[in-house]
Amino acid sequence: SPIHVFLQALPKCEHHIHLEGALTPSLLFELAARNNTTLPADDHAFLSAESLRLRYDHFTSLDDFLNYYYIGMSVLIHSSDFEALAWSYFQRAAADGVHHAEVFFDPQAHTSRGVAYSTVLSGFTIARDRACKELGMSTELICCFLRHLPPADCLVTFNQAELQESFEHGAVAGIGLDSSELDFPPQLFGELYRKAGEQGLRRTAHAGEEGPAAYIANAIDTLGVERIDHGIKLAEDGELMRRVAESGIMLTTCPLSNVLLRCVKSVAEVPIRRFLDAGVRFSINSDDPAYFGGYILDNYCAVQEAHNLSVAEWESICRASIEGSWCEQDRKDELL
């Protein structure tokens, strides 16, 4: 359709995509065979790529999804596995009209399995260089910390020499906070974020996905974030919404993710119109595209179906998403 062609052609930036969440069932089974990975024998979903894909249509919550997400990534062992994962995502994103991608990864989910940080980073770095050369796509890495683990463990990981080196060399642009939200409010990670800020790292955190608007306020007040990942619960607090609009903090929304994880009943319930009216900046993203039934263009199309935005509104969403990106100003000028 004409609107699909228009949305595909828009120069898009993606800010909220977990590379481990781009692991498709087919790549998962291919790597499991190659790496001799034992998948759970007691869960029939792991019988085949097809049965696993079908299971993804029935997530009941964030934690239900995370169970599959952490098991799935156990097939990632070698640098070449991480490279294949990131390269498959970059190619797919380029086809959707993504010109710039800032991608999350979860080092603790790999180092805890005995996979070295350098293995993860080297694979991703090869794929990034290739995306730049072959696709003209600029990319940044965002190192996420798992909030279901003790904050002290996150600090130990953050302070490891390999991570510090990747921050100093600019291989990693910033930090994020992900995994189970409700029992792990942002303020638990104040020290981690203070240290990251002192080192000049960019800071974002998942907040207001399953958790309340108060978690968004908390992330802003105690973590010094310049972006909020998801943030859909912001619309529950009008005063906070005005504050976020004024501050220029950008939300990285993920509409299909919110539906699949039952944070909302439908994309129509994602408060896109409220954010536009209040002047809250937001980008539209895929989150875990291999798990939530769609890449970025599917999310753009779902928003259009549900909210019927004008051409001018789409252009302003894309402009805000360029301005809210963490690339150099020169790159932003090229993207604009």
List the catalytic residues: 209
Q: Which does 299 bind (CB under 5 to 8 A by kind): Zn ion, ligand ES4, none?
A: none
Q: Which is nearer to Zn ion, 96 or 287 (CB)?
A: 287
240/223 Cα distance (integer angstroms): 16
Q: Which is nearer to ligand ES4, 125 or 257 (CB)?
A: 257
Three-state secondary structure string covering 21-78: HHCCHHHHHHHHHHHCCCCCCCCHHHHCHHHHHHHHHHCCCHHHHHHHHHHHHHHCCC
228/218 Cα distance (integer angstroms): 11
114/109 Cα distance (integer angstroms): 9
- Closest distance of CB 7 from ligand ES4, Å: 22
Q: Which of residues 179-218 bind Zn ion (CB under 5 A)?
A: none
- Chain residue whose CB lies nearest ligand ES4: 178
Q: Could you list the residues that contact ligand ES4 (CB under 6 A)?
A: 18, 21, 62, 69, 178-179, 206, 209, 257, 287-288
Segments of 243-293 assigned E as strands: 250-253, 282-284
- Closest distance of CB 148 from ligand ES4, Å: 9
Q: Which does 69 bind (CB under 5 to 8 A by kind): ligand ES4, Zn ion, none?
A: ligand ES4
CB 261 within 8 A of CB 59: yes
**Known binder of ligand: residue 169?**
no
**Known binder of ligand: residue 178?**
no
Q: Which does 14 bind (CB under 5 to 8 A by kind): ligand ES4, Zn ion, none?
A: none
Q: Which is nearer to ligand ES4, 124 or 314 (CB)?
A: 124
Q: Which does 179 bind (CB under 5 to 8 A by kind): Zn ion, ligand ES4, none?
A: ligand ES4
- Chain residue whose CB lies nearest Zn ion: 287
Nearest-CA neighbor of 121 among 141, 92, 135? 141
Amino acid at position 97, single letter: G
- Closest distance of CB 206 from Zn ion, Å: 6
Q: Which of residues 267-296 bind Zn ion (CB under 5 A)?
A: 287
Q: What are the b/e assignments for 12-47, b being 16+ CB within 10 Å?
A: bbbbbbbbbbbbbbebbbebbeeeebebeeeeebbe
**Known binder of ligand: residue 229?**
no
Q: What are the b/e assignments for 213-234, b being 16+ CB within 10 Å?
A: bbbbbbbbebbebbbbbbbbbb
CB atoms within 10 A of CB 302: 20
As a whole number of Å, the end-to-end CA separation of the chain is 25
- Closest distance of CB 119 from ligand ES4, Å: 20
Q: Which is nearer to ligand ES4, 230 or 281 (CB)?
A: 230
**Known binder of ligand: residue 18?**
yes
Q: Which is nearer to ligand ES4, 115 or 146 (CB)?
A: 146
Which residues on neighbouring strands pair with residue 142, listed in sequence order? 104, 174
- Closest distance of CB 145 from ligand ES4, Å: 11
218/225 Cα distance (integer angstroms): 10
Q: Which is nearer to ligand ES4, 62 or 84 (CB)?
A: 62
> Which positions from 216 to 235 touch Zn ion by CB under 5 A, shown as an x/- string?
--------------------
**Known binder of ligand: residue 78?**
no
- Closest distance of CB 11 from ligand ES4, Å: 25
40/18 Cα distance (integer angstroms): 23
Binding site for Zn ion (CB under 5 A): 287
Q: Binding site, residues?
A: 16, 18, 206, 287-288
Q: Binding site for Zn(2+), residues?
A: 16, 18, 206, 287
